[in-house]
Structure 1
Amino acid sequence: MALKNDEVQIRDPFIVPVESEGRYYMFGSTDKNIWGKGSGFDYYVSSDLQLWDGPFPAFRPDESFFADNNFWAPEVYAYGGRWYMFATFRRRDNHLLGTAVLAADALTGPFCLVSEGPVTPRDWSSLDGTLFIDDENRPWMVFCHEWQQIGDGEVCAMRLSDDLKEPAGEPVTLFSASQAPWTTPIQSPKFPRPDNYVTDGPFLHRMPNGELIMLWASFIDGAYAQGVARSATGLVTGPWVQEPEALFRSDGGHGMIFRTFEGKLMLTIHTPNKTPLERPIFLELRADEGKLSVAGK
């Protein structure tokens, strides 16, 4: 039986529209307790973004897989004749988070690891890698250097090899979370520093006017929120200019942008930011004179 949006527990929703089928495929963090042992990733399928068939398995690790905890934020892209999944895992050998690359011949999987573990730096706690292809057709991964390791979380970019299996350059820091006017520190008994700022879920999108923007998430007074930054040069390396206000601040974030088959520009995020209550929502976006806003707000 099909599930409504409020019946689908998922974090970090990522939509792949397949126009030839008239269907949307939704991937995300789908373990019931995504803070614990990881079992893999599932996907759901819909024709209207309201009723979903699934879950169906997209990835299941074998015993040799480099991680067994915290399977997070899969993003799936068509590239070079195959489908590639960028996803975050907590590695066994040093217990740090890292983004690895998986691939499959079909959108529905099964996905298998193609990188040698995470492609993010081994001694960094890194998460939420997203793929960006620049104007010279070069692949980049944009990802977060986690606040739990460095205090003021960062968004970084790194060139990848053409086969996406390994780095092709050193990471470059694009900005820190505290640089955005709308973010506030997050208080955590486990991490008691007063200047902890979160970066989560970067996603790049080329606007209709040609501007390059980035969605990313942080917190406002303890509530999860979705922000926007703009590249002043149109390049992934920036510099990046932060919007003064959050795009969405009602305890939701880790968003991505896609177009419906009718041409509407849509934002999907999960809300609330609390397990097991997180659900996907879909918000129509307006792009007026280059400024992004949620329709009707």
Structure 2
Amino acid sequence: MKLLTRMSAVLLVAVALTGPLSGCHNKGKSPVETITYANPLPVAFGDPFILSASDGKYYMYGTGGVEKGFGAYSSDNLADWHFEGQVYFGDQPGSWTVKNYWAPEVYEMDGRYYMFFSADWKENPTHELENFRIGVAVADQPTGPFTEISDEPLFDPGYPIIDANILQHGGKTYLYYSRCCYKNPVESEVAEWARAQDLFEEIEESWVYGVEISNDFTSVIGEPVLLLQPPTTMDDPQTGWESRSVTSGEVNRRWTEGSFAFEYNGKIYMMYSANFFGGENYAVGYAVGDNPLGPFVKAANNPVLEKNVATGGEVTGTGHNMMFRSKDGEKMYTVYHGRTQKTGDERVVFIDGMRIDANGILTVDGPSTSEKEL
């Protein structure tokens, strides 16, 4: 197994003990274990998601590593990760899926585990090149096996969608997703600029939507609401960082994708990724709203996570993140994928601390590659 070989070959974790054994007497108390680690982790996932489960363990899911489905890792401490094998198998009899399994997120509800994911829909009479939809699978254990709850996608908005994320708020459940760039050309000052520079004739965009769904995850309630999209004017303060894939001549698309929403101090924070997921400019920003379906206002300190090569670092392509908390609830972390010179085009996993200050400003302590405490 490629991932198992990678894990056994790379040693990035050190455990240091502070207390009597290290020369520090702890006034009669038990030694305190300090866990240290260094990014990137020895896990070759894109779009990583970490579940802090009720059994006391962390479980990581992501894109890649297995054929037609998803694998999972488990950890007791966020530093040492054990490959649990493939936990979901797609393209099975009765499945609506056929290929391209992306961005799994797993939520524990009432003792069961629900996986939201993206895949290509078998029903494709017009032979679309991008035919992605969102489905739900369920298991009795975080390590699966996950079984689809329906032989159809959750819903069909009439265009390809990916990157499902849910938020439960006020007794209701909300689904966030990204409309793919595919066949979604958008006129803007950025598109006009690209034509004037003879870079691209049109610019396609992906947008983040939100919609209420039933609490049993089987149906959509109401119509999707457009929540986030790339800026339309050149003088918008977000345009520079969100348009780098276009302005660098890399590709004729602008992405707003990989959303992750969570509640903090009565506000809804939505983190999201911009630029080409396969390029060095992939980066993360966030927006804040008062309600699950917006409106959301993008933060002035965006991006909060991006490549660091200009400042002497080695990390590029940082994106598709999510937020989770330590078991004691005291620390906030973000997990995301990125690349280094050593890993090349392979996406690997990073974990860094994040915080929200008294003024509601979100920051991420990364991307980091030096040894640090969890």
Calculate the TM-score normalised by the size of structure 2.
0.69
> How many residues are paired up?
283
Look up the match of 2:281. Answer: 223
- 1:19, distance to aligned residue in structure 2 (A): 5.3
Correspondence 1:183 to 2:249: no
Aligned with residue 88 of structure 1, among 99, 114, 118? 118
Alignment of 1:32-181 (within 5 A): 38-61=67-90, 62-94=92-124, 95=128, 96-135=131-170, 137-150=171-184, 151-178=204-231, 180-181=238-239
Summarize the Cα distance change of 1:294–1:124 in structure 2 as closer, same or farther, 3 Å threshold. same
The answer as to whether partners of 1:147 and 1:199 remain within 8 angstroms in 2 is no
3-state SS of paired residue (1:64): coil
* Unmatched tracts of structure 2, length 5 or more: 13-39, 185-203, 233-237, 308-316, 368-374
In our comparison, the structure showing a higher alpha carbon Rg is 2
Name whichever structure is richer in strand by fraction: 1
The answer as to whether partners of 1:134 and 1:235 remain within 8 angstroms in 2 is no
In the alignment, the residues of structure 2 paired with residue 187 and residue 158 of structure 1 have an alpha-carbon distance, to the nearest angstrom, of 29
Name whichever structure is richer in helix by fraction: 2
- 1:184, distance to aligned residue in structure 2 (A): 0.5
User: CA offsets per residue over residues 15-60 of structure 1, 9 Å max, x none?
Assistant: 1113543x2110111246xxxxx52111001122222111422111
In the alignment, the residues of structure 1 paired with residue 183 and residue 78 of structure 2 have an alpha-carbon distance, to the nearest angstrom, of 37
* Unmatched tracts of structure 1, length 5 or more: 33-37
- 1:144, distance to aligned residue in structure 2 (A): 0.5
Give the aligned residue type for 1:291. I
Aligned with residue 338 of structure 2, among 259, 265, 271? 271
- 1:161, distance to aligned residue in structure 2 (A): 1.7
Alignment of 1:238-257 (within 5 A): 238-244=294-300, 245-250=302-307, 251-257=317-323
Aligned with residue 210 of structure 1, among 266, 269, 273? 266
In the alignment, the residues of structure 2 paired with residue 269 and residue 259 of structure 1 have an alpha-carbon distance, to the nearest angstrom, of 14
Cα RMSD after superposing both structures = 2.6
In the alignment, the residues of structure 2 paired with residue 256 and residue 8 of structure 1 have an alpha-carbon distance, to the nearest angstrom, of 16
- 1:162, distance to aligned residue in structure 2 (A): 2.4
Give the aligned residue type for 2:363. S
Correspondence 1:286 to 2:355: yes
In the alignment, the residues of structure 2 paired with residue 13 and residue 292 of structure 1 have an alpha-carbon distance, to the nearest angstrom, of 20
79-88 or 267-276, which deviates more: 267-276
- 1:185, distance to aligned residue in structure 2 (A): 5.5
The answer as to whether partners of 2:228 and 2:256 remain within 8 angstroms in 1 is no
In the alignment, the residues of structure 2 paired with residue 41 and residue 296 of structure 1 have an alpha-carbon distance, to the nearest angstrom, of 27
Structure 1 residue runs of 4 or more that deviate by more than 3 Å after TM superposition: 1-6, 179-182, 185-188, 273-276
- 1:206, distance to aligned residue in structure 2 (A): 1.3
